[in-house]
């Protein structure tokens, strides 16, 4: 986050946002990952409004955002008191993860307290919670003094917004929305989600900037992949994570990935001429030199070969390229390695859902 991001909004504007939330309204706000569309987590009508605005199916659960305690880096922080209105049975592992990574881009799924609204959990007995690190989100949550549910502030299935302008364009003409401007999001892809609700396993539900290796290095907790857990657990896993739909995070322009050095192969899927193609190339590579294709005009756009820098700009690039009237977008396949898992996951879903028709969304 930029140092003066809170300065982008005066305290009068933040107070107005707090009042809007208390009145059952929606407020979009920045987090370090992506912008969220917030509503009071204890107000069913406000949550209903949120689902309608997003066009999100009502069985898709949302994340509750909480303010970190004032001095969260002090040795004795009472996260347990903060979580007790939301969570049943806070395990030792959970506290270790919280102390190591909150506030930050990590969402944890717990068995829920009975007071948590079904509208938040999609009727499940679990609740997802995170304490975002962005100073403006923290200020808003602290002043609101309650939980705020906030899915990414995009229409269902579309690219998540990483700036205030992205949020405005997402809901243009549909919704008169209050948007807090905290600058560009630093992480750029949604939080890592770890399910702790089974009590004995920590399971990765959505990869993000915080990886299982980092978690193991800092806490000694081993995070399993969803496939590694027992059948009974994964059977219940139907669309618990909306990002688990094959089509998600999708631009309107068709998007495909190409293996190293094989840009032309990706075109074979598009036998009709694709006259204007934007090709993303690693900033560490020299130009690809696409000769030998008579009917295609390629333009190169460089993308960072560092995974964090790539993630930070991924949605920005997809949104910007989507505005430019290309016939096709080609991105390089991310390399192997856990630090690329978050980016690879988002790019693959974006490819699947991309293109002018939304048939892929409808089939999911």
User: Taking the CB of residue 346, how many other CB atoms lie within 10 A of it?
Assistant: 27
Residue 205 is a binding residue for ligand TXA (CB under 6 A): yes
126 lies in the binding site for ligand TXA (CB under 6 A): yes
Q: In what order do the strands lie in the sheet with 276-282?
A: 255-258, 328-332, 276-282, 297-303
# chain residues binding ligand TXA, by CB under 6 A: 27
Secondary structure (DSSP) of 16-40: HHHHHHHTT--EEE--SSS-EEEEE
Measured distance CA(322)–CA(364) in Å, rounded: 23
Nearer to Mg ion, 93 or 195 (CB): 195
Binding of ligand TXA by 250 (CB under 6 A): no
CA angle 351, 347, 323 (to 5 degrees): 70
State how far the alpha carbon of 6 is from the alpha carbons of 10, 16, 66, in Å: 8, 15, 18
Query: Residue 40 has which token pair?
Result: 């009071």
* 63 near ligand TXA, judged by CB under 6 A: yes
* 309 φ/ψ sector (left φ>0, alpha ψ -120 to 50, else beta): alpha
Residue from 18, 241, 321, 350 touching ligand TXA (CB under 6 A): that is 241
Does 163 help bind Mg ion (rule: CB under 5 A)? no
Residue 250: contacted member of ligand TXA, Mg ion, none (CB under 5 to 8 Å, by partner type): none
Least separation in angstroms between residue 164's CB and Mg ion is: 17
- Choosing from 121, 152, 191, 348, the residue that interacts with Mg ion (CB under 5 A) is 152
Q: Could you identify the residue written with the tokens 């007071």?
A: 115
In this complex, which beta carbon is closest to ligand TXA, that of residue 242 or of residue 348? 242
Which of 17, 26, 62, 343 forms a contact with ligand TXA (CB under 6 A)?
A: 62
Q: Residue 110 forms beta bridges with which residues?
A: 127
Q: At closest approach, how far in Å is the CB of 308 from ligand TXA? A: 15
353 touches ligand TXA by CB under 6 A: no
- Residue 61 touches which member of Mg ion, ligand TXA, none, C-beta under 5-8 Å by kind: ligand TXA
The nearest distance, CB 4 to ligand TXA, in angstroms, is: 21
Q: What are phi and psi of 258, to 5 degrees?
A: -120, 140
Question: Does 94 help bind ligand TXA (rule: CB under 6 A)?
Answer: no
- Specify the stretch interacting with Mg ion by CB under 5 A; choose among 87-95, 149-157, 210-218, 262-270: 149-157
Give the Cα separation of 255 and 359 in Å (integer): 15
Name which of 91 and 124 has its Cβ closer to ligand TXA: 124
Q: Which residues bind Mg ion (CB under 5 A)?
A: 152
């Amino acid at each position: 986050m930029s140092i003066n991001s809170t300065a982008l909004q005066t305290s009068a504007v933040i107070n107005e946002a707090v009042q809007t939330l208390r009145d059952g309204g929606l407020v979009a706000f920045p987090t370090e990952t992506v912008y969220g569309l917030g509503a009071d987590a204890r107000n069913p009508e406000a949550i209903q409004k949120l689902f309608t605005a997003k066009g999100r199916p009502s069985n898709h659960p949302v994340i509750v955002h909480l303010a970190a305690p004032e001095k969260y880096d002090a040795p004795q922080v009472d996260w347990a008191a903060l979580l007790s209105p939301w969570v049943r049975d806070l395990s030792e592992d959970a506290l270790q993860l919280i102390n190591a990574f909150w506030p930050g881009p990590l969402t944890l799924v717990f068995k829920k307290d009975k007071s948590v609204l079904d509208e938040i959990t999609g009727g499940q007995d679990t609740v997802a919670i995170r304490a975002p690190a962005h100073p403006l989100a923290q200020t808003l949550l602290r002043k609101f003094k309650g939980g705020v549910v906030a899915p990414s502030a995009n229409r269902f299935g579309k690219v998540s917004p990483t700036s205030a302008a992205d949020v405005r364009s997402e809901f243009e003409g549909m919704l008169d929305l209050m948007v807090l401007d905290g600058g560009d999001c630093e992480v750029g892809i949604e939080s890592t989600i770890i399910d702790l609700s089974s009590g004995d396993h920590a399971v990765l539900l959505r990869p993000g900037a915080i990886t299982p290796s980092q978690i193991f290095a800092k806490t000694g907790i081993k995070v399993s992949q969803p496939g590694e857990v027992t059948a009974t657990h994964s059977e219940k896993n139907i669309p618990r994570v909306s990002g688990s739909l094959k089509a998600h995070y999708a631009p309107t322009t068709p998007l495909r990935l190409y293996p190293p050095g094989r840009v032309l192969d990706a075109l074979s899927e598009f036998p009709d001429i694709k006259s204007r193609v934007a090709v993303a190339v690693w900033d560490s590579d020299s130009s690809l030199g696409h000769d030998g294709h008579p009917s295609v005009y390629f333009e190169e756009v460089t993308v960072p070969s560092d995974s964090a820098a790539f993630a930070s700009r991924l949605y920005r690039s997809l949104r910007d390229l989507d505005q430019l009237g290309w016939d096709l977008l080609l991105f390089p396949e991310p390399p192997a390695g856990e630090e690329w898992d978050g980016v690879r996951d988002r790019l693959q879903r974006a490819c699947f859902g991309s293109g002018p028709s939304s048939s892929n969304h409808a089939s999911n």
